[in-house]
Chain A
């Protein structure tokens, strides 16, 4: 190989290096120079996490052969500004809450910098165009674009620099405290697992199945093991303990055992001194397969005689969840109209920008340690203890910063292989997935086929709802059982219905597995319900809000699982959405062209990609039509139908600071900032005084996974209680010191005082006093419990949650009748969150969820052909860009939860639920077609329009 000697300037410094001829600029920056602010999200030009300046022009460094950069000047995110003195733009990103998981953010900052360098006066449309090459999966882009506008205005002097600072407020709870982890994200300083290296580290690669269903006759790893530089090869034979993992059923081996059940399943893994050698070793592993009949359709898998995937489940059924209340047959007997329809939803990829990655090593004490962006280290440690046959405290999981999860990093995938390899080689090992690998092997959102039957009285009362959903669980169980449960419990929607029959079925097939994904099944079933209600409202000639209001759950209503609700904020959400969107009442009878509420303040301009053309495109030609739709939603907070719990420790620390230690899983949702706010408020400090401990099974109390919208509810409450515990002990000491009653002690913002006296000191002094004079270290601890009960296996009766949230969204769309393309111009999203600890953070969650919903409604679709992924890259798996997103108008409703010490509930998942049906209903309003099968691609929309025209002309003829 002919290595190349190149010289170039990197962030102002001359560099000379010998490089491999095939490296990309990205490889040089990351692997050789450790400039890891530049990320590899896709390696194929499709995401923008790798954007850097070359001679002043922004390019994607994954598409830049390194030889091209000889003699150039490179600027990376690290070179924009010193990280202790961020640029105005970086500060603007911090201010507006533009970063969530942060993985896209360095690239986004680069693109934004390029935009403002190119045109310091760029308007919002132009900024969006210039950011069009950078994908963000978390934020929905709105706060990113806000940040660029803010920076522009500060740079141009239209706004003072002070606008970049945090606004002062009396209380930290309910304030837009800036994210505490943002500075590290906007400067590129934060290291994710794939950015980390350990001395003496090996590189790992995985051999994956090319068959959908096959017996493995033999695996020959001898040629791989013999390759110089290979330090370890593992297969299922290396598993010392009980091999099997999954959330509800441990049906998946760490690596294929006896047979493979889907394309991409891990069969063997190799660790070598470098990546090239590891790859070469993988090529040398020989697997002999004997193909088995495979099944790719869940209905076919349920039929008698279908190929069986798992011996324990001869019917291929992962789980059936029934929810039966009243008697639907009686209900339908009372109905004036009965409406039936079917709905299908597609398989959807999480597409977190950070591909799976992890490091593992066996530490000096023999503890097997795994560092990974893992959404559920608590559960994964449990499973690994059985798999590795080690006492649980000999396994340590540390969560590395998570570059987006959305449920996809909640199901365990590769952690077992990492641990086994570290045990085998006794050296640190690192595994980083490619984007293609991530897409083809990680679990997806369950595709569902839903048959719907609803009976209503003429006045709009729903008297019976019957739902049957068959869902493709793919090759392994993962979270399927839980997803079926949530899909069933919440399926009929937030409506008080006397007779309900819901049956959800999760089924094994030889497709890519389905698993946990934001809303855990609730999105699929409520999409059906909210689409169906639009159909019913049309038949009854009722306004869609009115129909829902008649049936809305209220305080005292009984849920489908026969739980009596003490509170319900649904009507508030409806009224808020109506008011904010200035909704014009009327039945959903394709009113689009006659509406007077369109194109208002809450909408954006239709995108024409012409912001940089000096001349405008042609006038409206009547081929683009608008319409509006709405949908309601509800969601349960925290673990479903099971006791939920979280623990925390708090110590008031030297200098008037505090340590807060809890197994909290920050995946971009902003929970660290929420915890800092809560701890500061409870302890009388400021968020800057709070030190948050890592999420580490060996160092922090259990707080379990990021999922089920449980972070604020469970963990912030645990931290609040632990802080109160520490404070009360501290106050007791201070009261004794001052000789006053404890209830007169107050503290805020770093000062402690006795009410009604002039006794006061700084918290720093007080902590010192407490320790040195009273000999007491003020520590507190707490556990917070959510008292949920399981469901009756036959009727589904039970109390799955103690806190529920309700929401409603209105969507305004423009349908292009020439192309079938749908642009969503505005979303009004009204959501109850209990109490908004950080309103800007709540908005960020809503905006991100809405855009994920938009993706599912209009473009995203993970497809397989005979089990082989045909959408295994971001070129084929289409995600919304900055040019596809609507203006999102968030309306936060606060109906505090009486059982929550903070009153807060949650918002992470619920905001995604109503987006899809609101958009789909809006399409109907605009052009009179019902898209019952997601996504509403341009082809599908135009086909439906064609069919509608045909129907109309044949009915005219008749």
Chain B
């Protein structure tokens, strides 16, 4: 288990940044703690009796500046770092702006962990299997980061795709705290999320696919498509080539089938490569169909032999 000498729950961003920037070496920042506590156990980071000791834990969940979400004037949405995944299921307004998040949330952990698990935690933990990252990447997400400079709170922004640099690795610097994620909104889009692991709840993604798209008013062509993959490489992957291919194209099974062939060689995982390639093809196809269905468009199957 994780032991510490001190645990602090600052209430303002400034005091959080102060505590965090002065924290002794080895201290950790926590939000929901759903990644941090399991990490500190036997067989993972734990020692011979399964413990990890750190001097200080700085908990950011009481920092109100990190809470909730709001629409920005530029049409984007700002999601507070502490937003938890359950909120995508329970807040109908949020679901309208980000229609691909409810299906992602349903696949995420379980009803209980989702009340703790924050988006910032998911992003900073930077697991290649993180389910929360692909849907945000697909909406051009940027990470908003705060730090202290001469006792002043300063912010910088980084595109999410750049922020995550590898498994468990990000561009976050010592003393920095993620305050929010901003991304495009997808009002009027249909959203879908496909995921496969070894079971249907509490499951780590082997592959996941997030899709949101908007058909033209007459339901004939794709106006906009956003697609991203998780689990297939060290970092999440936006499928811009597929998106470009589909934009303006006629909505048909053939077009979707052709689109799903495009990303196959993008699997960068060292393990289960063949598997992941096979799945991606099907998932791109399926997630587009699901998202279309949610816009009221249903297509005949393209039958592939088993």
Is B110 located at the chain interface by the 8 A CB criterion? yes
A436 touches B41 (CB 8 A): yes
Q: Which of A205, A607, A938 has the most CB of B within 10 A?
A: A938
Q: Are A820 and B4 in contact (CB under 8 A)?
A: no
Are B37 and A63 touching (Cβ within 8 A)?
Answer: yes
Check B282 against A21 for contact (C-beta < 8 Å): no
Chain B proximity mask over A49-63: 1 for CB below 8 Å, otherwise 0: 001000001111011
Q: Is the CB of A133 within 8 A of B279?
A: no
State A205–B49 Cα separation when bound (angstroms).
Answer: 8
Question: What residue of chain B has the Cβ atom nearest to residue A940's Cβ?
Answer: B275
B48 touches A818 (CB 8 A): no
Query: Whole-angstrom distance between the alpha carbons of A622 and B42 in the complex?
Result: 44
User: Count the B residues whose beta carbon is within 8 Å of the partner chain — how many?
Assistant: 73
The residues in B between 288 and 306 inclusive whose CB is less than 8 angstroms from any CB of A are: 289-290, 292-294, 298-299, 301-306
* B47 contact set on A, CB distance < 8 A: 283
The answer to whether B198 and A878 touch across the interface, beta carbons within 8 angstroms, is yes
Bound complex: CA of A901 vs CA of B203, how far in Å? 48
A949 touches B305 (CB 8 A): yes
User: If the complex has contacts A43-B41, A45-B38, are A609 and B200 also in contact, measured as CB distance less than 8 A?
Assistant: yes
Closest chain A residue to B296 by CB distance? A615
A939 to B301, CA, bound (A): 24
Q: In the bound complex, do residue B304 and residue A622 qualify as a contact, i.e. CB atoms below 8 Å apart? A: yes
Please choose the segment from B101-109, B139-147, B159-167, B236-244 that sits at the chain A interface, where 4 or more of its residues have CB less than 8 A away.
B101-109
* Interface 9-residue window, one of B112-120, B172-180, B218-226: B112-120
Q: B289 — which chain A residues lie within 8 A by C-beta?
A: 618-619, 621
User: Cβ of A875 and Cβ of B7 under 8 Å apart?
Assistant: no
A45 contacts across to B, CB distance below 8 A: 34, 37-38, 109, 113
Contacts A65-B33, A68-B59, A818-B279 given; indicate if A132 touches B5 (C-beta within 8 A): no
CB distance from A72 to the nearest CB of B (A): 12
Pairwise interchain contact A617-B200, C-beta atoms closer than 8 A = no
The stretch of A165-173, A522-530, A880-888 that contacts the partner chain: A880-888
**A404 close to chain B: CB less than 8 A:** no
Complex partner residue of A436 from B43, B61, B196, CB under 8 angstroms: B43
Whether B199 pairs with A883 at a CB distance below 8 angstroms is yes
Q: Given A1-B6, A44-B37: A942 and B198 within 8 A (CB)?
A: no
Let me know if A609 and B106 touch, CB within 8 A.
yes
Q: Is A534 an interface residue, CB under 8 A from the partner? A: no
Q: Give the residue name and chain of the A residue nearest to B62 (CB).
A: A68
State the CA gap A882–B111 with chains docked (Å).
13
Does A60 lie within 8 Å of B112, measured CB to CB?
yes
- Residue in A22, A130, A943 whose Cβ sees the most chain B Cβ within 10 Å: A22
Indicate if B18 sits at the interface (CB-CB under 8 A). Answer: no
Tell whether B23 is near chain A: CB-to-CB under 8 Å.
no
A315 to B196 alpha-carbon distance, docked (Å) = 44
Which of A171-220 touch B at CB < 8 Å?
205, 207-208, 210
Q: Is B124 positioned at the interface, with any CB of A under 8 Å from its CB?
A: no
Does any Cβ of B come within 8 Å of A625's Cβ? Answer: yes
Instruction: For A21, give its contact among B5, B107, B199 (CB under 8 Å).
Output: B5
Do B50 and A434 touch across chains, with their CB atoms under 8 A apart? yes
Q: B1-20: which residues lie under 8 A (CB-CB) from chain A?
A: 1-7, 9
Q: Check A610–B200 contact: CB distance below 8 A.
A: no
A21 to B206, CA, bound (A): 36
State whether the Cβ of A775 lies closer than 8 Å to any Cβ in chain B. Answer: no
Contacts of B272 in A (CB 8 A): 939
CB distance from B29 to the nearest CB of A (A): 12
B302/A621 in contact, CB under 8 A: yes
- The reply on A873 being an interface residue by CB < 8 A is yes
Q: Which residues of B contact A618 (CB under 8 A)?
A: 192, 286, 289-290, 292-293, 298-299
- Closest-by-CB residue of B relative to A70 is B9
User: B111: which of A63, A70, A133, A625 is its contact (CB, 8 Å)?
Assistant: A133
- Does residue B68 face the partner (Cβ distance < 8 Å to A)? no
A954-B49 Cα distance, complex, nearest whole Å:
55
* Contact yes or no, B199 A609, CB < 8 A: no
Interface residues in A267-306 by Cβ distance below 8 A to B read 276, 279, 282-283
Residues of B within 8 A of A210 (CB): 48
A728 contacts the other chain (Cβ, under 8 Å)? no
Q: How far is the CA of A20 from the CA of B297 in the complex (A)?
A: 57
Beta-carbon contact of A133 and B306 below 8 Å: no
In the complex, residue of chain B having the shortest beta-carbon distance to the beta carbon of A615: B294
- The answer to whether A48 has its CB under 8 Å from any CB of chain B is yes
Q: Is the CB of B109 within 8 A of A133?
A: yes
Question: Which residues of B197-211 are within 8 A (CB) of A?
Answer: 198-204, 206-207
Give the docked Cα–Cα distance between A858 and B198 (Å). Answer: 8
Task: State in angstroms the CA–CA spacing of A133 and B196 once bound together.
Answer: 17
Q: List 18 A-B contacts (CB under 8 A).
A: A2-B7, A48-B112, A63-B34, A67-B59, A68-B59, A279-B49, A283-B49, A436-B41, A609-B103, A610-B103, A612-B102, A616-B293, A622-B303, A817-B304, A818-B279, A875-B204, A883-B199, A937-B198
Interface on A for B, CB 8 Å cutoff?
A: 1-2, 4, 21-22, 24, 43-46, 48, 51, 57-60, 62-65, 67-68, 70, 111, 114, 129-130, 132-133, 205, 207-208, 210, 276, 279, 282-283, 434, 436-437, 440, 607, 609-610, 612-613, 615-623, 625, 815-821, 858-859, 869, 872-873, 875, 878-884, 926-928, 937-939, 942-943, 945-946, 949
A-B pairs, top 4 by smallest CB distance, nearest first, are: A133-B110, A818-B282, A132-B201, A883-B200
